[in-house]
Amino acid sequence: MKIKLLFTPFLYLFIAAASYSQTTQIRGFLDVTGAYNKKATFGFGEQDLYITSAISDRISFLGETVFKYDSEAHSEFAISIERVIITYNLKDNHNLVLGKIHTPLNYWNDTYHHGRVLFPTIDRPLLFSQNIIPLHTLGAGFEGSNLGKMKFGYNFFVGNGLGSSEVEDNDRAKSVTAAVHIKPADRLRLGLSYYYDVISAGADVHGMDVDHRVNQHLISASVARFGKKFELLTEATTALNHTDTTGTKTTLAGYIYAGYKIKEKYVPYVRYDNIQYQNGEMYYNKNNKQSFVAGFRYEINYLAVVKLEYQHIDNEFGVNVDKVTAQFAIGF
């Protein structure tokens, strides 16, 4: 009898899913770049395919797979499953989320993913490319959006954490992500988030072995305002990495982007990035960086964007970088 009761909701769920007319879409993004940094070079970036499917009235699926160049792969190309998300709508705007997600710590990470046609600049800010925040988390959680007059939203997610593989956790500790945001006006979003994880000694994170157990706290804030004319996006993360030998070391990372639509399709823009590590930082690869980007975006239509950009990167260690890059990004 108990077993019957246990399986009854799943039976209803199965019947509901079977009687629902499924809609599935496959779409993607691709970009081709040309750059000049002491020599001219051409290349293409990631080919991103994503699938969305409404499985039932309440269940939906989103998968995002990236094909990209990898010099170490046999075919020189690697396939990376970036997101596998099963969403179950619990009630109104509240959802249960299962799978591999882009950690909803920051606006950029949770909004643009790998869709370069949507990026306001050619590349991600250093905050993301320097592995300051965990880009992905595999686990389960809840999310809500557009609640009340302030359009409040939240994410609460428990995951395997850094050092884990795609199929199992490498330790007993779980990562916790808690994020809130409000949209007090049209085209304005304010966000705040907290992330906690324990990275075990010996874990392989971003291809590097972690020598010491690290307790990591990340506190992030973001302001996004994409108005009719003026665009502003700024995010900052404070990372507190604690090891028994070094104590707590603080890293500050952030960027500010501003763009102005001079016509419907033309947007000149600038972005400034800054990452400052505290002396003695052991978890991150300490190399204080500043970057300045100035560029021009021409939006041919919503599926085709051309960007031309100059970037200067000031490194604490190693040579500084000056480069000019052009990118043709498309969606299909």
Partner 1 sequence: MKRTTLISIVTGKSAFIQYSFLIACLFFTLAGNAQQATLTAIGNVSGAPAEMKQSELKSVLMGETQRWKNGKRVVIALMKTNTPLGKTTSSKIYDMTGDELNKYWLSLVFQGKSQAPVFFTSVSELQNFVAQNPGAIGIIDKPMAVSDVRSVMIDGKPSF
Please report, as ranges, the residues that interact with partner 1 according to CB under 8 A.
23, 25, 27, 50, 52, 54, 57-58, 60, 62, 83, 85, 87, 89, 91-93, 110-113, 115, 118, 145-146, 151, 186, 228, 264, 299, 301-303, 331
Smallest gap from Cβ 201 to partner 1, in A, equals 35
Considering the complex, state which of residue 87 and residue 164 has its C-beta at the smaller distance from partner 1.
87
The smaller minimum CB distance to partner 1, of residues 35 and 118, is found at 118
| Ramachandran class of 118: left when φ > 0, alpha when ψ lies in -120 to 50, beta otherwise | alpha
Joined together, the tokens standing for residue 288 give 């204080």
Q: To the nearest whole angstrom, how small is the minimum distance from the Cβ of residue 89 to partner 1?
A: 6
Contact 139, 133 (CB under 8 A): no
Q: Which residues contact 246 (CB under 8 A, 6 or more apart)?
A: 212, 280, 281, 282
Whichever of 144 and 268 has its CB closer to partner 1, that residue is 144
**Cα pseudo-dihedral 35, 39, 43, 45, rounded to 10:** -50
Q: Which is nearer to partner 1, 115 or 295 (CB)?
A: 115
Shortest Å distance, C-beta 44 to partner 1:
20
Which residue lies nearer to partner 1 by CB, 112 or 156? 112
Residue owning tokens 């993913």:
113
Residue closer to partner 1 (CB basis): 153 or 161: 153
73 vs 262, beta carbon nearer partner 1: 262
Smallest gap, in angstroms, from Cβ of residue 60 to partner 1? 7
The token duo for 250 is: 């603080």
Shortest distance in whole angstroms from residue 52 CB to partner 1: 6
- SS3 of residue 174 by DSSP: coil
Q: Kindly state the smallest distance separating residue 29's Cβ from partner 1, in Å.
A: 8
CA terminus-to-terminus distance, the chain = 51
In the complex with partner 1, the residue whose CB is nearer, 128 or 284, is 128
Cα dihedral 109, 115, 118, 121, rounded to 10, equals 70
The helix (H) or strand (E) run that includes residue 91 is strand 77-91
DSSP result, 244-308: TTTEEEEEEEEEEEEEE-SSSSEEEEEEEEEEEEPTT--SS----EEEEEEEEEEEEETTEEEEE
Residues 6+ apart with CB under 8 A from 314: 289, 290, 291, 320
Which CB, 117 or 173, lies closer to partner 1?
A: 117
Task: State the DSSP H helix or E strand holding residue 197, giving kind and residue range, or none if neither.
Answer: strand 188-199
For residue 313, the minimal CB distance to partner 1 (Å) is 28
Least separation in angstroms between residue 227's CB and partner 1 is 11
CB of 55 to partner 1, least distance (A): 11
Identify residue 243 by its one-letter amino acid code. Answer: T
